[in-house]
Structure 1
């Protein structure tokens, strides 16, 4: 583990929240048009930048109220070459968008730097493919070469780390981790699961984590789960297995719907924020290493507020 990884404050025992479902909030609450879920495209206009800033500031204020740390993901989940090409971005424009996204995080975080808890700028890395479907299993070498471009750009910014979100295969996740290692960037790997608790590739969560760790000599700082409801993955946790100690974060969907159902839905299913908060508290009670807690599709500040309200007392008791 590098010095940059060791300096990540979220590797301690304190609670860190994250933001929620960036794209679903901007589309369904704010009524913005975001082709391909590419939120970075909003950086092209002043109104888009202001919408992104408002979104992040709401979460920074939430973390300040609860006295906990926060990790903000940049709006760059789709800011990789193939998705950028679909949106008409040349590579130099795409690189500028990645840098601008991290700069925006720095701008919104600056007024909150003196608040209790650290504020982390994470460069979000998305999958080359859909994110819900393992429609193309890239060899590790191809995934490394593909993702190294974006990670190399983010490594030149003030990003504290990068995080690969909604990974559907261990091979692509391994490529991301190796690319991050080449650029000495701390990296978190976040897998998504189907309703059966397996990755879209059909692989078990623990097997995927072990495969990435074996191929990278344990380079990722930690692992997460995102874009699935707790009911979909809770039973995948194998008590006593070493891989479970590597899993530190959960960013669940608000909805119990499958990926296919969410894809076909025209309306937002925002679930029950209070129920979701209680589920997180139950997960943390069973797995004390779960300390990075946030949301994904359909979640907003109501959900993260409920998660912080139910979980912060558990962390406070542990520290006393």
Structure 2
């Protein structure tokens, strides 16, 4: 059974940490081959499962050291129908790996959660496309039907919620939200931004959040930004409006490179972990609703360690 599905503790104002760039860490630091950037494929073997478990441990320790809660996002960003088919998964096998991934997150929570630091189990969802290009944008009904299969699997597990990362367009966000609403599981929506602070479709972040809320009766529990450097989101955060209170999470890239540059780069640009932590601190001072922090592409436990310390300092100062 889920533990926090009826009341997500990260919505109560405390600081929550997430992990960093799962796929880039596994590829560039662990030397693993991840076809189609699919970390969930490691769940096929016991060795892969152990690798994933070890990956989360330093992030959990950073949260515990700083008195943060922690969100255990499952390694299932690619575990949706089209990507699963590319990797040779049947529908039943894909459902099984989604369930197994949630079980791994539950095992980590059972071992490391404390009364002072809640740990939320979240089923991670990714876009139908590659996360950098909008591609052929689905209709609302198509997006809801496409993502409902994975979301239904999560709803039948002990997952407390689902979170959709690296979304490039509002139609997909609305479809995912409606699918989650249909099976009564909380959902968070995380958009990605280009270097100009706009979604890959050219829409503003404020416009995307307002449109999703309007179409779903404020369905998402909250919104996030991921897979963009803090310098890329400055323009997006400058807009005024009630949408600002709905944005509570950030999982930034280590690199200032654009999505196109990251796609073509043969190396890992890890940026400057200390600088990144300071940029989070400055954003939190300007944007007090920011309470869920972690990393995305190029970040590892070093970056998230600096982020957690810097954000704790900013929160205490406030």
TM-score under structure 1 length normalisation: 0.96
CA contact (8 A) 1:39 1:75 kept: yes
The alignment status of 1:242 with 2:250, answered yes or no, reads no
Which residue in the other structure is 2:213 paired with?
A: 213
Which residue in the other structure is 1:270 paired with?
A: 270
Aligned length: 316
CA contact (8 A) 2:222 2:246 kept: yes
Distance between the aligned counterparts of 1:128 and 1:10, measured in 2?
A: 27
1:54-99 deviation line (CA, Å, top 9, x unaligned):
0012211111111111112100000001100000000000000000
Per-residue deviation, 1:116: 2.7
Per-residue deviation, 1:18: 0.6
Which residue in the other structure is 2:74 paired with?
A: 74
The alignment status of 1:124 with 2:121, answered yes or no, reads no
Alpha-carbon RMSD: 1.3
The alignment status of 1:34 with 2:34, answered yes or no, reads yes
Which residue in the other structure is 2:61 paired with?
A: 61
- Structure 1: which 4+ aligned runs deviate by more than 6 Å? none
1:26-61 deviation line (CA, Å, top 9, x unaligned):
010001111011100000011111110000122111
Per-residue deviation, 1:5: 6.2
Distance between the aligned counterparts of 1:108 and 1:201, measured in 2?
A: 37
CA contact (8 A) 2:5 2:160 kept: no
CA contact (8 A) 1:14 1:315 kept: no
User: Structure 1 residues 316, 220: CA separation in 2 closer, same or farther (over 3 Å shift)?
Assistant: same
User: Structure 1 residues 142, 190: CA separation in 2 closer, same or farther (over 3 Å shift)?
Assistant: same
Distance between the aligned counterparts of 2:191 and 2:251, measured in 1?
A: 10
Distance between the aligned counterparts of 2:162 and 2:274, measured in 1?
A: 30
CA contact (8 A) 2:222 2:247 kept: yes
Distance between the aligned counterparts of 1:9 and 1:313, measured in 2?
A: 21
Unmatched runs of 5 consecutive residues or more in structure 1: none
User: Structure 1 residues 239, 132: CA separation in 2 closer, same or farther (over 3 Å shift)?
Assistant: closer
User: Structure 1 residues 6, 109: CA separation in 2 closer, same or farther (over 3 Å shift)?
Assistant: closer
Which residue in the other structure is 1:8 paired with?
A: 8
